[in-house]
Structure 1
């Protein structure tokens, strides 16, 4: 693996360098078969996108491209590179991977933390438009929005359309991607690098970070100036559901009597029958009781609950309210939450959009915001060991959670960050934006900061963009929340 990786790096380095007079013939011979590949791998500027900001040239710098990884660079990973709006030559660079697995980071770029936000459509029959996001994280850092693992978004395998990947392989692909990206963009080799993601990426990102660290320890070139990672409402281990009953009880979604019965049936005296145990029946009842709540944001109604689906389909869920309003700046809307995958696919699958993004024709059949049939083996069920190992190396980390998320309750994140048993150097306290309390935070001696965001959901930056931007800006600048 290391030998193959080094060989691929050498090809890219030699093809991107001016050969000296001595050895010109040798270098040209070695590089000749790779010239077209290297040229194709470098990012291409995107000057404008259809239906974005009244068809005007983009007011931010966007490049897209593919990087080949794996054996013979068979895996082609697609990325969107948005340069920092402040000082891209010095600002940190974050490689962001959306969750799923199988969700394209186009979502993060246009509906969450990127420079664009999807406008609320007037009806479902027209393509969406996009406006500038005043709370884009690219105002203080450059972002590489990466479609990972292979099969996600526009990333594909040349040898097989349904290439099966797994979590370990995806993390290694990500680390290889960054090193090759730095060869294509040598001007950023001294910038600080971070990796980040949310939801399912809570499992992948710590492994991704570990793969980067391992590469640096092995002295792979170019070295990555790696500083740390950040996770939002991330899946860390598959016992998060242990906290859902406590969360649901705390917010009044279930009764105290039902919570006590479930604890008795599932923990104190579990039924050993092979089918339909009391615990399983309790879980069914729990789902029925909480079904009406949107699990990603319990302050809203489920997309499939009574009237919810009808309102979304008919467009009645669209409420033309102001999106940004002081400290409670909120772009959340049920219509977008329930239909954004279909709306985004309607837009991205337009030929002119793919041409503007420089997508290789024929590389994929149909783009999906979140691919449900991704050939992927989720072979890591617990990422705690990676957090523990990264902590020993002193990397920075930001773990944040919206406190209205039933999928990944903030209680779980608070428990596992504390379970690493590092001393607390800044104990539990509120943090503020515009002199208003927006959450609680604590910082540990292993450079890990935990932040709870009040009134936010599973995709916190989409629900509370101002608060999350303030959080990210302070953390990436080494400031206290």
Structure 2
């Protein structure tokens, strides 16, 4: 889900709040005042398109918890977790009582009233030795339950709202955590606007604090390898959290987290490069013709580059302007293509409906499920338009900048992308990975393209050098674990076991 969309999810699933824009010398400027009101309105509209495109109907724009007028008590334990006993149909080889399924709330420090909700599923195979994997869904502002129930969680939702075992859930190869974040997303809440996050510093600090609380409650997992994963706008969250964990480890802060790697699926990481790649991908996939391409490249791309450069230099409101300016490239392509599903260009959206994830809301609104989760009367905000808007000035920031230092420390990175996604397409991701300056850059660029083979069939093409691997997944859109569940599970298993980059039977000396 970037994870991580314009009329969208990414850009699976993603966006932001900003303060009013002002003239740099304090003199009123009519055009800037017009932009000041237009940009947040544009962001709000984008968030609503994202929500409607998934057939979701959250009752609130942001989760305020038990009530905006009544803050939760500050005292008590930082983390409250309970065993999860939800009936699941079918035979998973274990009874539900034998499996460690948990749900809980973590009271975030350094906040007025924030509570972070999470699911934790112990490995179905070998919980003592399998890695701990955290999954972050994008939006920004979309609940990780989207991935839990529709992509790589232990179970799926049947039409009658029963739970069915997912044979390819990532708990087959890991101890798996799903977190609702940033605050206000899913079941995570705060009664205070001061706890709403606007940048990766706030997001990564909250997640780092949560992990400290999690491993304090579950010290038996602190020695396991730890991996950060996610999708779409999580292309921002993930490298920020990886850097924060690495920083905490080096400074001997709290519990040492055994970080081994991070993986981003169809993510938004380096917006400047990725926005410029839109017309290249659209032309290659025959979504636009040559004249369309020339028009976009000459008329829209230069202004996006200029606005992005200013954003990189100044931050703040200039990044909100860059978001709207650069999004014109994506929206121009959508105007040309009509009702195409920008998460999977093989499909069409019906009106604004691209996917139907409404059963997630229906399930989580059942009283027996809410009782099992321990959430009481707290609303489930599947995707928060307020959180989306609050992250507006974060959208165009380049998160690639902190990755080389992680690679130099030997922390592995996997960038994977379904080949039919438009919003966070494989080409844009491949371009920023290729352009990233690090000690292994030349060797990575020169590395051959290797077939990713599952059950004797090629499921993708990849290239690797040292700690870096890029994988283009065949026959998949934005949500790879949903479209190619078996291949996605095998990707995770091999990657965490250090076997993904091992050369397989076929080497393809062809372009990705």
With normalisation by structure 1, the TM-score equals 0.76
How far did residue 263 of structure 1 move? 2.2
Mapped pair 1:465 → 2:499: no
Aligned to 1:213: 246
Is it true that 1:383 corresponds to 2:403 in the alignment?
A: no
The 3-state SS of whatever aligns with 1:387 is helix
Q: After superposition, what is the alpha-carbon deviation per residue over 1:240-292, rounded to whole angstroms, capped at 9, x for unaligned?
A: 2211111111111111222123323335899x9xxxxxx99987653222232
Q: Look up the match of 1:238.
A: 271
What do you get for the CA RMSD once the two structures are aligned? 2.9
1:130-168 alpha-carbon deviations (Å, 9 max, x no partner): 2111111111110111111111111112x5278421221
The aligned residue for residue 352 of structure 1 is: 368
Q: How does 1:77-116 map to 2 (within 5 A)?
A: 77-116=116-155
Q: Which residue of 2 aligns with 1:288?
A: 335
Note the residue ranges of structure 1 that are not aligned, 5 or more in a row: 1-33, 122-126, 273-278, 310-336
Structure 2 match to 1:316? none
Q: What does 1:288-307 correspond to in 2, within 5 Å?
A: 288-304=335-351
* Aligned partners of 1:48 and 1:58 also within 8 Å: no
Partner residue of 2:45?
Answer: none
Query: Relative to structure 1, is the Cα distance of residues 58 and 247 closer, same or farther in structure 2, using a 3 angstrom cutoff?
Result: farther
| Counterpart for residue 434 of structure 1 | 455
Cα distance between partner residues in 2 of 1:444 and 1:400: 15
Cα distance change on mapping 1:261 and 1:72 into 2, 3 Å: closer
CA distance in 2, matches of 1:283, 1:458: 15
1:69 corresponds to 2:108:
yes
Which residue is equivalent to 2:197? 165
Q: Would the aligned equivalents of 1:164 and 1:377 in 2 still touch at CA under 8 Å?
A: no
**Change over 3 Å in CA distance of 1:60–1:161 after alignment to 2:** farther
Flag the structure with larger Rg.
1
Work out the CA distance in 2 between the residues paired with 1:80 and 1:350. Answer: 17
Superposed counterparts of 1:99-178, under 5 Å: 99-119=138-158, 121=159, 128-157=161-190, 159-160=191-192, 163-166=195-198, 167-178=200-211
Structure 2 distance, partners of 1:96, 1:220, is 23
Q: Give the counterpart of 2:471 among 451, 455, 458.
A: 451
**CA displacement, residues 217-245 of structure 1 (integer Å, 9 cap, x when unaligned):** 11112111111211100111223221111
Q: Whole-Å Cα distance in 1 between the matches of residues 169 and 341 of structure 2?
A: 25
What do the CA deviations read for 1:183-238 (whole angstroms, capped 9, x no partner)?
A: 11111121111111100010011001111111111111211111121110011122
Return the alpha-carbon distance in structure 2 between the equivalents of residues 281 and 150 of structure 1.
29
Is the contact between residue 453 and residue 459 of structure 2 (CA under 8 Å) also seen in structure 1?
yes
Selected match of 2:291 from 253, 257, 280: 257
Q: Is residue 137–residue 230 contact of structure 2 (8 Å, CA) maintained in 1?
A: yes
Give, in whole Å, the separation in 1 of the partners of 2:436 and 2:301: 24
| Counterpart position of 2:86 | 48
Q: Tell me, what secondary structure is at the counterpart of 2:118?
A: strand
Q: Which of 368, 388, 392 matches 2:381? A: 368
8 Å CA contact 1:303–1:338 kept in 2: the answer is no
Structure-2-length-normalised TM-score: 0.72
Mapped to 2, the partners of 1:369 and 1:428 lie a distance apart of 38
CA distance in 2, matches of 1:190, 1:237: 32
Residues 151 and 162 in structure 1, CA contact (< 8 A), matched pair in contact too: no
Q: Paired residue for 2:300, among 259, 266, 285?
A: 266
Residues paired across the two proteins, number = 398
Q: Distance in 2 between matches of 1:108 and 1:281?
A: 29
Contact 2:417/2:480 (<8 A) preserved: yes
Unmatched 5+ stretches in structure 2: 1-72, 307-325, 502-512
Measure, in 2, the Cα distance between the counterparts of 1:242 and 1:281. 11
Match of 2:355 among 338, 346, 353: 338
Shift of 1:462: 0.7
- Per-residue deviation, residues 378-402 of structure 1 (Å, max 9, x unmatched): 4431101121221222101111000
Aligned equivalents of 1:475 and 1:379: distance in 2? 33
Aligned to 1:16: none
C-alpha separation in 2, matches of 1:285 and 1:209: 34
How far apart in 2 are the matches of 1:397 and 1:281?
A: 31
